[in-house]
Amino acid sequence: MNRNLKDLESLINFNFKNQDLLKQSLIHKSYDYENNNERLEFLGDRVLGLIISKKLIDIYPNEKEGIIDKKFANLVNKKSCFKIAKKLNLRKFMLLGTSIRNLERSEDKILSDCLEAIIGAIYRDSGLKPAEKVVIHLWKDFLDKSIVLLIDSKTRLQEYSLKNFKVLPKYTFYKKTGPQHRPTFKTDVQIPNSKKIMGTGLSKKDAQQNAASKLLQILKIS
């Protein structure tokens, strides 16, 4: 086990003012049943949820709650946290009891909980904004993939329409509303045998992507 915590701070791109918080975030209950990272993990889970929720709302200002909720679940689940924790090699920084050091089947939960504890520790140390910076940095690849999935909606609808009807989807610009500095665009899309479906966005392109995404959902095309 390598306990050079400066290396970990470098990996997460954050320097603690209170090193004790970082140290506590790395203590599993098998090592110290009384003084461990469980409370920080509890806090970090909530902080992570808030940060990812806010980021998704910013990325998808006009997307339906159900779609955002699915993306949220994929971003904050134990599987995603475990992948990030593995990438950071958190296990080498943790304090684990002898009874659990070789328990591979528990590794995903132990490491993902530790990552959330670190987020909780950052929040306790410096507040929400620094915690947000760290989370966005660590979750960048996952957030980028989330955006790509939405952007690809127009392409997927085009492929479906060409394959089944030999025609392109028809997009019709509907109108522009809202203030000049932050307008909202509305666009209809339609393919043969479908109703016109309206999408909204901060640009015509975004509105088309949103409309295509909605029509794909109606057609039950993943």
DSSP code at position 191: -
Task: Give the residue numbers annotated as catalytic, written as ranges.
Answer: 45, 116
Kindly report the backbone phi and psi dihedral angles of residue 193, in degrees, each rounded to the nearest multiple of 5, phi listed first: 70, 15
Report how far apart, in Å, the C-alpha atoms of 221 and of each of 117, 161, 216 are. 38, 12, 5
Name residue 170's beta-bridge partners.
190
For residues 62 and 113, give the distance between their C-alpha atoms in angstroms, rounded to a whole number: 32
Residue 201 pairs in a beta bridge with: 185
| Other beta carbons less than 10 A from residue 16's beta carbon | 21
Phi-psi region of 198 (alpha: psi -120 to 50; beta: other; left: phi over 0): beta
What the block records as the tokens of 102 is 């070789």
176 Cβ contact list (under 8 Å, min separation 6): 183, 184, 185, 186
